[in-house]
Amino acid sequence: MTGKDLGRKYLPLFIDMEGRKVVVFGGGSVGFRKASLFAEYAETAVISIDFSAELEELASSSSSVELIVSDLSSVSDGSILALMEDAFLVIPATNVPSLNDRIRELAQGRGILVNRIDMAGEVVIPSVIQRDGLSIGISTFGSSPAVSKYTRRKLESIITPQYGEMIRLQDEMRTLLKSKVDLQKERKALLWKILEDKAIWDALEVSYEKGYNVAYNIVQEHIDKKG
């Protein structure tokens, strides 16, 4: 099942979730996984008649998570709509498929984005690798969670924590070079030289300061030769 097979055209996007609200319906293990992810980025409300111990612990340790007690099996459409008021994203994650469908239809009727847990819907939440300033999203659009997990493991062995350090180093070197090297072409070449220098990557494994010093010496040597 691909985006093409579904008649959908998925575009990977990075969205600023600051100030946005995510509403998760369901207090079980799936609800916990979704709430754990979004709690790092947005205000997250979880609605259920009861909650797993993990969700209760998450809510007690995170100011971004609110647990709202509601018997969703007996509430009206109006009550469900009130629960998702101001939501940017709704996630139906109960253990009742018909209830999930009802929540999805109500959310879509209000123009609210929906992430389905049983298949690739209009919003797909990828598996994410983060290395400070570097984010990578992985998805098979529900076709094979195993392949997504396998790919993530492979990439995590390649995209080491030093990538985050290199991003920081590149940013600082760009600022430094703007004050010391006039030609943009030369600045670009130096940044690539730093990026491809194995000695710098090895130094970053020891500490950021060591990596910075090796990179700074490359820049200074260039300046001295031009001087």
Tens digit of pLDDT at every position of the chain (227 positions): 444 445 678 888 889 999 999 999 999 999 999 999 999 999 999 999 999 999 999 999 999 999 999 999 899 999 999 999 999 999 999 999 999 999 999 999 999 999 988 777 789 888 888 888 899 999 888 788 899 899 999 999 999 999 999 999 999 999 999 999 999 999 999 999 999 999 999 999 999 999 999 999 999 999 988 76
The confidence score (pLDDT) of residue 8 equals: 73
Total-model pTM = 0.79
Fold of 21-125: Rossmann fold (3.40.50)
Q: What is the pLDDT of residues 129-176, one digit of tens each?
A: 888 889 999 988 878 889 989 999 999 999 999 999 999 999 999 999
Map out the domains of the chain as residue ranges. 21-125, 126-159, 162-226
How far apart, in whole angstroms, are the C-alpha atoms of residue 203 and residue 200? 5
Query: Are 61 and 83 in contact, with CB atoms under 8 Å apart?
Result: no
Residue-wise pLDDT for 43-52, tens only, equals 999 999 999 9
Question: How big is the chain, counted in residues?
Answer: 227
